[in-house]
Amino acid sequence: MGRFINQENQTVILGGGLTGLSAGHVLTKAGLKVKVFERDSEVGGLSKTIARGGFRFDLGGHRFFTKDKTVEAFVRDLLDGELVSVPRKSKIYMCGRYFDYPLKPLNAVFGLGIPTTLKIVFDYGTERIKRLVKRPANVSLEDWVVGNFGRKMFDIYFKVYSEKVWGIDCSRISAEWVEKRISGLSLAKAAKSAFFKFSGRDMPTLADRFIYPRLGIGRISDRLTEEIEKENDVYTGAEVRYINHSGSVVEDIGVDVGGCFDVVEGREFISSIPLTKLIGLLRPAPPEDVLDAASRLNFRDLVVVAVMVDRERVTDQTWIYIPEQKIPFGRIHEPTNWSESMAPDGKTLLVIEYFSFAGDSIWNESDGRLVDITVEHLEKLGFVKKGEVLGGAVVRVPKAYPLFEVGYKETCERLYEYLDGFKNLHLAGRSGMFRYYNMDHAIASGISTAEKIIAKQKWEVGDPGSVSGSGDEEVVAVLDSVL
Ligand SMILES: Cc1cc2nc3c(=O)[nH]c(=O)nc-3n(C[C@H](O)[C@H](O)[C@H](O)COP(=O)(O)OP(=O)(O)OC[C@H]3O[C@@H](n4cnc5c(N)ncnc54)[C@H](O)[C@@H]3O)c2cc1C
The beta-strand segments (E) located in 247-334 are 249-257, 260-265, 268-271, 282-283, 298-309, 319-321, 331-333
Total-model pTM? 0.89
Position 258, amino acid:
G
Nearest ligand 1 atom, CA 44: 49
**CA nearest to 44, candidates 236, 298, 302:** 236
Nearest ligand 1 atom, CA 331: 1
Q: How much distance in Å is there from the Cα of 40 to the middle of ligand 1? A: 12
Q: Tell me what pLDDT residue 438 has.
A: 94
User: Could you give the angle at the alpha carbon of 435 between the alpha carbons of 434 and 441, nearest 5°?
Assistant: 130
At 201, is the pLDDT very low, low, confident or very high (cuts 50, 70, 90)?
Answer: very low
Q: Tell me what pLDDT residue 459 has.
A: 67
**CA nearest to 54, candidates 261, 308, 361:** 308
- Residue ranges around ligand 1 (CB below 6 Å): 14-20, 37-40, 45-47, 59-60, 62-64, 239-240, 272-273, 277, 302, 353, 400-401, 429-432, 437-440, 442
Q: How much distance in Å is there from the Cα of 439 to the middle of ligand 1? A: 8
All domains of the chain, ordered by start, with CATH?
A: 4-43+215-297+405-459 (3.50.50.60), 91-205 (no CATH)
Contacts of 3 (CB under 8 A, 6+ apart): 260, 262, 263
- Ligand 1 pocket: which of 46, 468, 478 to mutate (most atoms <8 Å of CB)? 46
Q: How much distance in Å is there from the Cα of 13 to the middle of ligand 1? A: 15
Q: Tell me what pLDDT residue 191 has.
A: 63
Residues 29 and 450 sit within 8 Å (Cβ to Cβ) = no
Mean pLDDT over the full length of the chain? 87
Q: Cα 71 to chain center, whole Å?
A: 17
At 356, is the pLDDT very low, low, confident or very high (cuts 50, 70, 90)?
Answer: very high
pLDDT tens digits for range 428-483: 999 999 998 999 999 999 999 999 999 988 765 444 443 333 333 222 222 233 33
Q: Tell me what pLDDT residue 322 has.
A: 93
- Cα 32 to Cα 23, 155, 399: the distances in Å are 11, 53, 31
Q: Tell me what pLDDT residue 153 has.
A: 82
Q: Tell me what pLDDT residue 473 has.
A: 28
pLDDT tens digits for range 276-304: 999 999 999 999 999 999 999 999 999 99
